[in-house]
Amino acid sequence: MNLKTCVLAGPASKDLAKSVAKILGAKLIDVELRIFPDGESKVRIDGELDGKIAVIVQSTYPPVDTHLMQSLFMIGKAMKMGASVCAVIPYLAYARQDKEFLNGEAVSMELVGNLFNSSGAKNLISVDVHSQMALSYLKIPAYNVSAVPLLASYFKSQKLVQPLAVSPDIGGAARAQELAKNIGTSSIALPKFRDRNTGEVTIDQNAPELKITKGRDVILIDDIISTGGSVVKATEVLVKAECRRVFVACAHALLINGALEKIMAAGASEVVGTNTVPSKVSKVDVAPAICDQISKLNE
């Protein structure tokens, strides 16, 4: 039993926190939540924290702002109770707002970073953060752990035919390369274009990269699936290019507005996500990756 560390199960990540506590051999402490009629959250930590390392696990999937505020309230209270806090924010919301794409846009991640910087947390661990730029706004030690090796293990246990890792966009090329390396295959990245005003996504169905997908099982990998717009477009062009099957994988399956149904309707065989966002596609547990990082910090 790890007596120095305890794991706080944030309201958004109870199952993941349980898994983290089990691997660490640490006590799991529940966090009670009340939502006031006006929408305010009130958290109550149900245990002793004095002198402990408190690992607070709370993802910030929708309702984004509510989960974000709850994470800050828990960190603040745990500090007051005498703990040294390691904030585990598996899905870090606002990371996509990491720069000013159009004039006058708020760089929201900068403020979110500042909130964690001043929260009192000693360090922060996240999973597949959207960009290094987003992470750069954190001035406390911040660590990004990859869910890709765990996703790769899932796919290695399936019987795939000539698997190929595909990123729906150039920005995700390194992620597809990492998946390919873990599976023992190659990867490509598709030329995606997103209209910054309408949000509409297009992918050139005549892109030369698509040629090598014919007859192969494709794993289309992204960090986030929100509306599904990116992977739906990518699945459509891959199906047109006559690949064998399309498996869609991501760390954070937000699946907004019927995204899962849209992806399946586009011709995907399966969608695989992790438990950074609990959903019916949470097939991969990211706790081992998070615990590896926690152990390194505590060495």
Burial class from Cβ neighbours inside 10 Å (0-12, 13-18, 19+) for residue 147 reads buried
Rounded to 10 degrees, the C-alpha dihedral 116/119/123/126 comes to -40
At residue 46, what is the residue type?
D
In the complex with ligand R5P, the residue whose CB is nearer, 16 or 253, is 253
State the minimum distance, in angstroms, from the CB of residue 249 to ligand R5P.
Answer: 12
**Which residue from 167, 108, 159, 161 is spatially nearest to 137, judged by alpha carbons?**
108
In the complex with ligand R5P, the residue whose CB is nearer, 57 or 176, is 176
| Cβ-Cβ contacts under 8 Å for 98 (sequence gap 6 or more) | 107, 109, 130, 131, 133, 134, 137
Task: Name residue 8's beta-bridge partners.
Answer: 29, 56
In the complex with ligand R5P, the residue whose CB is nearer, 17 or 255, is 255
State the minimum distance, in angstroms, from the CB of residue 251 to ligand R5P.
Answer: 10
Burial class from Cβ neighbours inside 10 Å (0-12, 13-18, 19+) for residue 40 reads exposed
State the minimum distance, in angstroms, from the CB of residue 152 to ligand R5P.
Answer: 18
Query: Per-residue DSSP letters for 147-162?
Result: SHHHHHHHHHTS--SS
State the minimum distance, in angstroms, from the CB of residue 124 to ligand R5P.
Answer: 20
Q: How far apart are CA 89 and CA 95, in angstroms?
A: 12
State the minimum distance, in angstroms, from the CB of residue 222 to ligand R5P.
Answer: 5
User: By the criterion CB under 6 A, which residues form the site for ligand R5P?
Assistant: 96, 168, 171-172, 201, 222-230
**Type and span of the H or E element at 124:** strand 123-127
In the complex with ligand R5P, the residue whose CB is nearer, 77 or 192, is 192
Query: Per-residue DSSP letters for 193-255?
Result: EE-TTT--EEE-TT-GGGGGGTTSEEEEEEEEESSSHHHHHHHHHHHHTT-SEEEEEEEEE--
Which residues are marked as active site?
A: 192
In the complex with ligand R5P, the residue whose CB is nearer, 171 or 288, is 171
State the minimum distance, in angstroms, from the CB of residue 199 to ligand R5P.
Answer: 7
In the complex with ligand R5P, the residue whose CB is nearer, 189 or 201, is 201
